Amino acid sequence: ENGEEADGENTIVAGTAPGFPPFEMVEDGELVGFDIDLLEAVVDETEYELAEWEQLEFDSLIPALDNGNIDVIAAAMTISEERQEQIAFSDPYYSSDQSILVQTGGDFQPESLDDFEGQTVGAQSGTTGETVVRDDLIEAGIIDEGDYTSFDNYVLAVEDLESGLIDAVVLDEPVAETFEAERDVEVAFVYETGEEYGFGIRQEDEDLQAALSDGVAAVEESSEYEEITSTWFGE
């Protein structure tokens, strides 16, 4: 059964936030990544058509979904209770924890969040990494509010880490590992949060939600999920 969008067609617009490798990034001017391939494979299993991809900052994705500029978010977005007050999610398609990134061989080599006293930290605005900083570092009284820098994009945070402007970055583990492989930064430790990513949709788009969840199951049952995983994670 077809879902019905406001324009009466089954074409949907996807939104993502590049700069989050290997889930979404721009390479040679082209938007690529795990989420791009996965959503395209998932939509192929449905009666919807993916018309185009919009590239936005991460913290603009939910507002863009709300105001109808996009119909689905594919941005390694963690399914959280807080977000579920605003939007709905497909069934989960990937699991992740947070990681702490530091300069490779740098002075700051923390083993737990308790080691952060007196250090400066960065994360990307609107992310679960930022939630860890706010709840488990600032609220917990380990660092001061002023020791935290919120970035529009994790690439900018990692650049400031490389140049020593901040001491650590908190971000999703698979992305931290990608930055570790490509840049002068390393994972100090993994902070277990047990997150799961889902595709975000408007709460009223129940047909689309069901179609995407069925699509995720179909792609996972076929060889496609493994192919996409091996393309982007080399596993």
- Return the number of the residue (42 or 76) whose C-beta is nearest ligand GLN: 76
Q: Where are the beta strands (DSSP E) in 116-202?
A: 121-124, 148-151, 168-172, 185-197, 200-201
Q: How many residues bind ligand GLN (CB under 6 A)?
A: 12
Peptide bond into 92 cis (omega under 30): no
Of 71-79, 176-184, 201-209, 224-232, the window that binds ligand GLN (rule: CB under 6 A) is 71-79
Measured between alpha carbons, how far is 142 from 174 in angstroms, rounded to an integer? 26
Question: Within the chain, where are the H helices?
Answer: 34-44, 61-66, 81-84, 128-132, 154-162, 173-182, 206-221, 224-233
Residue 127 interacts with ligand GLN (CB under 6 A)? yes
How do 11-16 and 72-73 pair as beta strands?
parallel
Question: Angle between the 224-233 and 206-221 helix axes, to the nearest 10 degrees?
Answer: 80
Is the Cβ of residue 25 or residue 50 nearer to ligand GLN in the bound state? 25
Does the protein bind ligand GLN through residue 20 (CB under 6 A)?
yes
Residues in 149-178 at the binding interface with ligand GLN, rule: CB under 6 A: 172
Tell me the closest approach of the beta carbon of residue 169 to ligand GLN, in angstroms. 11
Stretch that binds ligand GLN, among 69-77, 84-92, 108-116, 178-186 (CB under 6 A): 69-77
**Which of 5, 12, 14, 17 is the binder for ligand GLN (CB under 6 A)?**
17
Minimum distance from residue 6 beta carbon to ligand GLN (Å):
26
Strands 121-124 and 168-172: parallel
Distances (CA, A) of 11 to 1, 33, 53, 71, 153: 14, 21, 12, 9, 29
75: contact with ligand GLN by CB under 6 A? yes
Q: Taking CB under 6 A as the rule, does residue 77 contact ligand GLN?
A: yes
Shortest spacing between CB 4 and ligand GLN, in angstroms: 28
Contact 43, 50 (CB under 8 A): yes
CB of 140 to ligand GLN, least distance (A): 19
Site residues (CB under 6 A) for ligand GLN? 17, 20, 58, 75-78, 124, 127-128, 172, 195
